[in-house]
């Protein structure tokens, strides 16, 4: 991360090049605090401002707002994730492929993946269990773009719809392709796991819970006691460029990569998600 030299700060009061973690085997790893927004939509999602959430615009906003890592999570599709990652080449922003699946219980679960292939494989499983056709008059076009913001296709599926997969099956599917499963905006009335189910079912192997920009970790933990057992993240769930980074997580990691994020979610080797922040537009 040449853009963020040791000794600089995130602007959040955390020193970046601070922690030298001594490992048993005798070598040291520099852990730094990174700023992550792990839930961002593109022009592929129905209801986004068309021509606004393109790969280049998303990456530009991420750079401007000092985000080190973002994840692209469109509704029931990952068709714009690879293009956004390619658009970020050379900017220092790390882009994770993701997907926001609507379960049969109408709960939103975000999958974050180590590779484009993994995200696309999950997408194919989702497509096979997603029915109906998009009504462009009602929901708008669902635009597939390349890294130059050129239109490549219009997705005709009803991406806003619910799949026939339960929460449990969605989490299993994400894990089958080595992804991380995060219950999205758990504090929200619409499509949050608590509003839809009332609680997190025992044995549901979520890797983290996401708090929306409307709340904070403390409030969510005191309102929903089950949250005490999980890693929390804060994400913008941006559908518009001005919302990118409006909520973000601070995580201590060796670098902004999927492998390090997985360790931060698990709280191993000194990695951790430290807190969530929101900023005013």
Residues of this chain that bind Zn ion (CB under 5 A) = 100, 108, 184, 191, 237
Q: Shortest approach of Zn ion to residue 203 CB, angstroms?
A: 23
Q: Are 69 and 250 in contact, with CB atoms under 8 Å apart? A: no
Which residue is associated with the tokens 């068309």? 50
Residue nearer to Zn ion on the CB measure, 191 or 230: 191
Beta strands in 80-220 (DSSP E): 94-102, 108-112, 143-145, 151-154, 180-183, 208-211
Q: Are 205 and 183 in contact, with CB atoms under 8 Å apart? A: no
Residue nearer to Zn ion on the CB measure, 33 or 72: 72
Return the closest-CA partner of residue 36 out of 192, 245, 238, 207.
245
Return the closest-CA partner of residue 247 out of 47, 12, 86.
12
Residue nearer to Zn ion on the CB measure, 174 or 272: 174
Residue nearer to Zn ion on the CB measure, 193 or 272: 193
Q: How many CA atoms lie within 13 A of 87 on its CB side?
A: 27
CB atoms within 10 A of CB 258: 20
Calculate the CA 209 to chain-centre distance: 11
Residue nearer to Zn ion on the CB measure, 100 or 120: 100
Residue nearer to Zn ion on the CB measure, 12 or 106: 106
Q: Shortest approach of Zn ion to residue 188 CB, angstroms?
A: 8
Tell me which residue has its CB nearest to Zn ion. 108
Q: Shortest approach of Zn ion to residue 102 CB, angstroms?
A: 8
- Written as six digits, the tokens of 197 are 């189910």
Q: Shortest approach of Zn ion to residue 92 CB, angstroms?
A: 25
Q: Shortest approach of Zn ion to residue 49 CB, angstroms?
A: 14
Q: Shortest approach of Zn ion to residue 220 CB, angstroms?
A: 16
């Amino acid at each position: 991360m040449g853009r963020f030299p040791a000794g600089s700060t995130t602007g959040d009061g955390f020193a970046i090049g601070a922690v030298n973690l001594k490992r048993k085997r005798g070598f040291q790893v520099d852990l730094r605090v990174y700023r992550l927004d792990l839930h961002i939509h593109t022009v592929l999602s129905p209801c986004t401002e068309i021509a606004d959430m393109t790969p280049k615009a998303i990456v530009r906003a991420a750079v401007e707002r000092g985000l080190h890592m973002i994840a692209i999570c469109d509704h029931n599709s990952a068709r714009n994730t690879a293009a956004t990652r390619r658009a970020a080449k050379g900017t220092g922003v790390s882009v994770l492929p993701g997907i926001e699946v609507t379960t049969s219980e109408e709960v939103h679960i975000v999958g974050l993946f180590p590779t484009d292939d993994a995200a696309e494989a999950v997408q194919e499983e989702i497509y096979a269990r997603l029915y109906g056709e998009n009504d462009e008059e009602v929901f708008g076009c669902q635009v597939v773009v390349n890294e130059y913001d050129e239109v490549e296709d219009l997705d005709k599926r009803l991406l806003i719809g619910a799949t026939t997969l339960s929460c449990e099956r969605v989490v299993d599917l994400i894990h089958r392709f080595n992804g991380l499963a995060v219950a999205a905006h758990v504090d929200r009335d619409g499509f949050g796991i608590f509003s839809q189910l009332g609680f997190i079912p025992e044995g549901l192997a979520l890797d983290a819970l996401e708090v929306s920009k409307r709340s904070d970790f403390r409030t969510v933990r005191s309102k929903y006691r089950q949250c005490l057992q999980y890693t929390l993240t804060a994400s913008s769930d941006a559908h518009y460029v001005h919302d990118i980074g409006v909520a973000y997580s601070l995580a201590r990691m060796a670098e902004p990569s999927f492998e390090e994020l997985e360790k931060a979610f698990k709280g191993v080797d000194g990695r951790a998600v430290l807190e969530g922040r929101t900023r005013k537009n």
